[in-house]
Amino acid sequence: MQVVQKQLSGCSQLTAAKKKAEVFSEVEAAKYDFGVAVDRMVTSFASPAIRPAKGLPRGIDARRFRAGRIHMLYEAAMRTQGRPLCLAAAERLLKLEKDSTVLFLTGVLHPVFFPKGETDGPPGVVGLARALNLGLGLRPVILSEAATSDIMRQASASMGLSGRWDRKMGPRPRSADVMSFPVTDVATTQKEVKKLLDKLNPSAVVAIERKGRNTKGEYHSVLGTPRGAFEAKLDYVTEEANNRGILTIGIGDNGNEIGFGNIIDDVKKIQMFGELCQCPCKGGIATVVKTDLLIPASTSNWGAYGIEACVAFLLGRGSLMHDSEVEKRVLEGIANLGCGDGATIETTPTCDGTGKASLYLVDFLKSLVDQNLETKTREF
Classified as helix, coil or strand, 216 is coil
116 belongs to a structural domain: yes
Residue 291 pLDDT level (bands cut at 50, 70, 90): very high
pLDDT of residue 378: 82
pLDDT of residue 163: 79
Give me the number of domains the chain comprises: 1
Compute the distance between CA of residue 101 and CA of residue 139 in angstroms, rounded to an integer: 5
pLDDT of residue 119: 98
Compute the distance between CA of residue 120 and CA of residue 337 in angstroms, rounded to an integer: 14
pLDDT of residue 4: 46
Instruction: Report helix angle 2-42 to 85-94, nearest 10.
Output: 120
Point out which residues pair with 117 in neighbouring strands: none
The answer to whether the predicted template modeling score (pTM) of the entire model surpasses 0.85 is: yes
380 belongs to a structural domain: no
Over 60: is that where the pLDDT of 40 sits?
yes
Any idea what DSSP says for residue 83? S
Residue 16 pLDDT level (bands cut at 50, 70, 90): low
What's the average model confidence in pLDDT over 53-66? 65
Over 70: is that where the pLDDT of 74 sits?
yes
Using CA atoms, how far residue 232 sits from 143, 151, 190, 218, in Å, is 10, 16, 11, 12
Over 70: is that where the pLDDT of 68 sits?
no
Per residue in 93-102, pLDDT tens? 999 999 999 9
290 belongs to a structural domain: yes
User: Residues 101, 97, 150, CA angle at the centre, nearest 5°?
Assistant: 20
What's the average model confidence in pLDDT over 173-190? 96
Over 90: is that where the pLDDT of 377 sits?
no
pLDDT of residue 27: 85
User: Residues 129, 135, 141, CA angle at the centre, nearest 5°?
Assistant: 25
pLDDT of residue 8: 47
39 belongs to a structural domain: yes
29 belongs to a structural domain: no
Work out the percent of the chain whose per-residue pLDDT is above 90.
80
Residue 58 pLDDT level (bands cut at 50, 70, 90): low
Over 50: is that where the pLDDT of 305 sits?
yes
Q: What is the mean pLDDT of the chain?
A: 91
pLDDT of residue 120: 98
72 belongs to a structural domain: yes
Over 60: is that where the pLDDT of 19 sits?
no
Q: In what order do the strands lie in the sheet with 247-252?
A: 177-180, 139-144, 101-105, 204-208, 247-252, 293-296
CATH code for position 65: 3.90.1640.20
27 belongs to a structural domain: no
Cα torsion 50, 54, 55, 59 to 10°: value is -110
364 belongs to a structural domain: yes
Question: In terms of residue numbers, what domain contains 182?
Answer: 34-372
Work out the percent of the chain whose per-residue pLDDT is above 70.
89
What's the average model confidence in pLDDT over 127-144? 97
